[in-house]
Structure 1
């Protein structure tokens, strides 16, 4: 990436330069304390491990509105003129931010970047124009697209879903956006393509044929996969699980549900999962849990890095600062061999009460430092602590004898019965959870 910040016709974040790494003794709020992009951890740099991305929607489109009031931030790129002029100013602001922050990737929905339009042809022209500008800015800065996606949930036409809508005309209109965004992702060299089924679910089973809707969703994703491959898209398609909100029940409830759906429809060779921290907790899981389920299924593709508020039962999309979450996540990633072509996208927004331009930088710096520290700790736990040995010892009875034969499928239920009689009452063995937790704490404060 260019070391010089991208500045268009106007500087949108004046007074803020490229964010440096200054180490843990620094008291500069606009500097990284842990994230050193070039620092090597286990054979790869931090940048290569973490593959950070900035999301276009929360960072440049969300002015802080919530169900109880309008936005509190007044973005200068929204005050230029007509919608297309605003979009052109916004893309300059975005690339200025990306390069000053020093991330290698970004992500966007179609209508984040291009003005929406009910007319199909006008929508496609708007998107094509903005994709052309994005390509120019990528070439100028070295920025890359982690993934593209279509917003199939905000427009009123999608109030009853997109691919699962009971009206075929709406399903066809959703295909317009997906087709255009797959083309845009290919044009921009995007490494993945995401589907978040924001309204793919139901509000009431009284009026819903769930079996039919799920079949339609499988058919729609299959068509999208086939089209993407036909135009040269070689990356992964990603499903992003979420249990509810805005719908009462969403069909991509969690990692396990989404994995089963992909296998049922023969999509698991082309699709992986994009796991979001706050979505996992809404499903009653931990972030680490859904990552582990995806990894164990061979379907861990990418991450939306955020966290929720335990006092709020909704998707607060806060920047991740909980080190226990980041250590747990990085343990899963390191054991998985990394994310491949995926990355850590900050699908997070500054709080409604945070209204200074610098707040967007501070939020990303905090999240990047939190994951960098999680990486350091997780790597140390795996390489130099007793953690992996302890875990192995718990399952040592399956590494030899009848335990190993059981894992290999060589024993019958009757064989297990005979083994139990010969072995006698099993010895009680402590799970030692407190020892594991203390070990994590010891490495966190090193």
Structure 2
């Protein structure tokens, strides 16, 4: 029997302590000491770890080839509001035991969607009141909210880019309600993921019109939220394909160009997901760097793909080399703008013990903490930055600096080239950079 507010869902597991890298306790942090100061900030403030409501409390192991492999006690109540409250009880117990301070959600993660829009809105109002109570009691906050405008069959041809205005209107109403919910919960940001904002075939697609509709839709959402006093950042999360053949938010560079095309660059940043980066044939650090170059590095969905599998497996991060390279970009960019690190990752289908949820998040937090600590040491103590600076030294003075300052014409460059003698090869020293990374891991 579920007793709302009183049931302990994760019995036998207390608050996860920090015990250091010599500890053999699997239910303890080895590197994530939230109070440790790195690069001028506590780890908890740099990383702002958030738990993903959908994967952690909603994923039961179902996949396209098989049924659920695990059940959750918080799903036992039949009434949708009771079930939502039970899930909230489990979520806040888990988040506080992990020692995290944030969560994020889709609208219909926190309560089951109803048969009509108005009934769904009523359900969201009811569960929002309950979540406000849970937040006040625990101090846990919302990193960001969003609307699931991709799962329901109505969105099979997209939401904001749907060729049927009736579907677009429904999506607009759903986003308004999700924004209202996020603001009521004092969410710090709001995310748009265009899961089906794209096409399956160009034969039946008016791409320019759909992109214009998407730009207008995001503009209306921004204007509404700002009009209601929302001060947070809007994020767009790039992904190249899956479920659509081609999605309009393909990668970071595509999204940056889209935001500038539709005049949204002052309100929107990017939420970079590791697995989405690799699906676009980029590295995680590449996508971070592209966003940082545009001053749009907003938030991170932390996960990884399977390196032999070309789809979105959403596994918990564990590659220390990959994440350390990413944290070099993170620190040099000055961190994230508004967002944090959300574990958009799910335990494997054959991980069926309740403690596996803790083990996965502990590992994810430790890998990011360890990588951030290593990256800070690399930047502070090694030759890494000086080597990089020296590689571009020819642009720091003389003709190179004049070129960067816009003081040379093409004819000037032509004359300079004529006067040059033999050009000696300049080594990229890639192996040395890689050795430096290894030295500090």
Partner of 2:351: 354
Q: Secondary structure at the match of 1:350?
A: coil
Partner of 2:37: 40
Partner of 2:25: 28
Partner of 2:141: 144
Question: 2:296–2:337: 8 Å Cα contact kept in structure 1?
Answer: no
Question: Bigger CA drift: 422-431 or 249-258?
Answer: 422-431
Question: 2:297–2:337: 8 Å Cα contact kept in structure 1?
Answer: no
Equivalent runs, 1:329-344 vs 2, <5 Å: 329-344=326-341
- TM-score, scaled relative to structure 2: 0.98
1:416-443 Cα distance to aligned partner (Å, 9 max, x none):
1111121222111110101110110011
Stretches of 4+ moved more than 6 A in 1? none
Partner of 2:174: 177
Question: 2:17–2:29: 8 Å Cα contact kept in structure 1?
Answer: yes
Question: 2:188–2:233: 8 Å Cα contact kept in structure 1?
Answer: yes
Partner of 1:77: 74
Equivalent runs, 1:289-438 vs 2, <5 Å: 289-438=286-435
Cα RMSD (Å): 0.9
Question: Of the candidates 238, 241, 263, which is equivalent to residue 266 of structure 1?
Answer: 263
Question: 2:324–2:375: 8 Å Cα contact kept in structure 1?
Answer: yes
Per-residue deviation at 1:345? 0.3
Query: What is the number of equivalent residue pairs in this alignment?
Result: 438
Partner of 2:193: 196
Partner of 2:155: 158
Gaps of 5+ in 2: none
The 2-side partners of 1:39 and 1:437 are apart by 27
The 2-side partners of 1:186 and 1:212 are apart by 31
Gaps of 5+ in 1: 1-6
Per-residue deviation at 1:87? 1.1
The 1-side partners of 2:114 and 2:214 are apart by 24
The 2-side partners of 1:50 and 1:26 are apart by 23
Please state if 1:442 is matched with 2:406. no
1:265-310 Cα distance to aligned partner (Å, 9 max, x none):
0000000100000000000000000000000011111000111111
Question: 2:81–2:126: 8 Å Cα contact kept in structure 1?
Answer: no
Per-residue deviation at 1:70? 1.6
Partner of 2:7: 10
Question: Bigger CA drift: 64-73 or 22-31?
Answer: 64-73
Partner of 2:16: 19
The 1-side partners of 2:139 and 2:181 are apart by 18
Question: Of the candidates 85, 97, 102, which is equivalent to residue 94 of structure 2?
Answer: 97
Q: Secondary structure at the match of 1:272?
A: strand
Question: Of the candidates 87, 107, 111, which is equivalent to residue 110 of structure 1?
Answer: 107
Partner of 2:204: 207
The 1-side partners of 2:344 and 2:380 are apart by 30
1:184-230 Cα distance to aligned partner (Å, 9 max, x none):
11111111100000000001111111111111000100000000000
The 1-side partners of 2:222 and 2:212 are apart by 15
The 1-side partners of 2:328 and 2:126 are apart by 42
The 2-side partners of 1:152 and 1:421 are apart by 59
Partner of 1:278: 275
Please state if 1:241 is matched with 2:238. yes
